Structure 1
């Protein structure tokens, strides 16, 4: 009887050891699974599983090329897949491109719209399809349907540029204004900013204004026409550097370098060179690298199911000759 009892006690001890080991393994397994769930996003997706469609307003524009390069670099760094489409300065093309992205079932779309009203249907289509869409550096008229906006405040850039011009002119003189593509968010906002500043300078007059469609060639042609008309012009206020550089070419050709001040926006390399050489008088830094990189980060976050800010602003900064080393 004693032998039987001893055997039973031994069996109970052995069973306890096995049960304890089993529970320990189960607990360890649960902890590993919890850690794995914490590291992986909802649905188990990682950056390499995400595809983002980009529709740029037009890769013929120098600044948009810098923007795309920043997007490419950040996407490579994060390991996310991107599809690039060139809108060729056409709202209709951009709508079609967004529709293609929807058909391809991308995880997120980034739209750099050429027109506030013209590109609104693209945002509506993405919203209806349930695909997050982020607008980049310019907005659309139905911006409330977009998931987020990444870029800068266009009004701010117009105010900074006009203040540079007002200071350069000593508060008086005649200016000509070159617009970007009409209906573009930046064209509208920058003109509003310019007029906000002009209210404080009654002795500065706009003697001519015309759209140059963000183009250097058109900027040069418009300036040639204005100079030929005999208008008295003290400064050119162009809504981007490309048009400003075009105007500068016409001014140089007429032998008027130094007599007419030239201001732009974007701080592209050629504009910075022109500032150093005392050919241009001022520009406004728009952070293409920061805007492009942040758009990838925001789109990736949204695709992972994370909440993002409705507006992600990257500030503009004034650039004079003394500031050029900070931006080259």
Structure 2
């Protein structure tokens, strides 16, 4: 079989990180080919977050293009124990490929590693486990997205400096860690910006309201808040409104979700300064599954990075209403 990297362009404009994952000339899947039907089990971190719902809807919509695939999506319920049980159940059910967005990285690593070592291909979507026991990762470069947000804020929103804060996601998840690191690196380009408060809100709007309200009381001169997801940005806006600081505090979200309650509309309406899109990676993940299961690929990209785009006042209205990016 020809080298996968030589024959396949990444779909939907995704960029390919260096490296492939090979199986020594053998197909990555024990059973593969165009004549079989395949079951893909997906353990989603939770169904509560709007971004997670968006991922699920994209997968369900796009999997219709692959009539040989049956996709089973399980709600991880924001619980490591639940996701471990789901992974074990998928093994018992002998799924042909496992997809997972781990709620927490380290605690889910042993279960995912066991699946991989048993010869079942594993695609990690959006979030990673630790170590190397997976077939491919599909997602955004969280560190790069956050660094871009920080650099843009430092140059455009606070060129004269001032106090800033961060509402972090779940601190034991890889996106939250990488987004915090990236934003810190980005605002470092302007030494006049002082980061006065960083606290996790676990991706939740209600926690963001509570935490940012306390931050504003402790640091009334905060001029900018960076949030790890759009839900936290929505909570930050509520807190700023309650404190009478709408317009005084610039809010940056992450996700760029479409629809009437998504981040794009919040930017278009002037509530936030910006949000950065984090595409679902659903198209890329399913294309990888096709290569592995139907095309009997002997190697695939180790990492498929989906691109981001800044949504700000200049383009938010043009983007609002689009269903996907």
Between the aligned partners of 1:253 and 1:263, the Cα distance in structure 2 is 18
For residues 215-260 of structure 1, what are the alpha-carbon distances to aligned partners after superposition, in whole Å with 9 as ceiling and x for unaligned? Answer: 1111111112122335321111111111011110111122211011
Higher relative contact order (CA 8 A, sep 6+): 2
* RMSD over aligned Cα atoms: 1.8
Matched, 1:279 2:268: no
C-alpha displacement of 1:198: 2.6
Alignment partner, residue 208 of structure 2? 219
Task: Provide the residue aligned with 2:74 in structure 1.
Answer: 85
Superposed displacement of residue 59, structure 1 = 0.9
- 2:59 corresponds to which residue? 71
Distance in 1 between the 2:163 and 2:32 partners?
61
- Which residue in 2 is equivalent to 1:202? 191
1:109: Cα distance to partner?
A: 0.4
Whether the 8 Å contact between 1:160 and 1:317 is mirrored in structure 2 is no
> CA separation of 1:48/1:283 partners in 2, compared to 1, >3 Å: closer, same or farther?
farther
Structure 1 pair 124/230, CA: closer, same or farther in 2 (3 Å)? closer
Q: Confirm whether residue 300 of structure 1 aligns to residue 295 of structure 2.
A: no
Cα deviation 1:251-309 (Å, max 9, x = unaligned):
11222110111001111132211211211001101112xx1122122123222321321
Larger Rg: 1
Give runs of aligned pairs for residues 160-175 of structure 1, distance below 5 A. Answer: 160-166=148-154, 167-175=156-164
Does the CA-based 8 Å contact 1:48-1:81 persist in structure 2? no
1:121 aligns with 2:110: yes
Q: CA deviation at 1:48?
A: 6.5
User: Are 2:268 and 1:262 equivalent residues in the alignment?
Assistant: no
Question: What TM-score do you get using the length of structure 1 for normalisation?
Answer: 0.82
Runs of 4+ off more than 3 Å: 41-48
Partners of 1:65 and 1:130 in 2: CA distance: 29
- Shift in alpha-carbon separation, 1:323–1:48, aligned structure 2, 3 A: farther
- Distance across 2 between alignment mates of 1:44 and 1:209: 48
Q: Tell me, in whole angstroms, the C-alpha distance in 1 between the residues paired with 2:229 and 2:31.
A: 43
Report if the CA contact (8 A) 2:279-2:308 is conserved: yes
SS at match of 2:236: helix
2:319 corresponds to which residue? 326
Cα-to-partner distance string for 1:3-36 (whole Å, 9 max, x where unaligned): xxxxxxxxxxxxxxxxxxxxxxxxxxxxxxxxxx
CA contact (8 A) 1:50 1:300 kept: no
CA distance in 2 between counterparts of 1:310 and 1:44 reads: 19
Match of 2:91 among 102, 112, 124: 102
Which one has the bigger strand percentage?
Answer: 2
Shift of 1:113: 1.1
Q: Please say if 1:182 is aligned against 2:174.
A: no
**Partner Cα separation in structure 1 for residue 219 and residue 186 of structure 2:** 27
Structure-2 separation of matches of 1:178 and 1:43: 45
Distance 2:200 2:138 in 1: 25
Contact 1:244 1:263 (C-alpha < 8 Å) held by counterparts: yes
Structure 2: runs of 5+ lacking an equivalent = 1-28
Change (3 A) 1:83 1:47: farther
1:317 equivalent to 2:306? Answer no
Query: Structure 1 residues 94, 321: CA separation in 2 closer, same or farther (over 3 Å shift)?
Result: same
Aligned residues: 285
Q: CA deviation at 1:123?
A: 1.7
Determine helix, strand or coil for the equivalent of 2:94.
coil
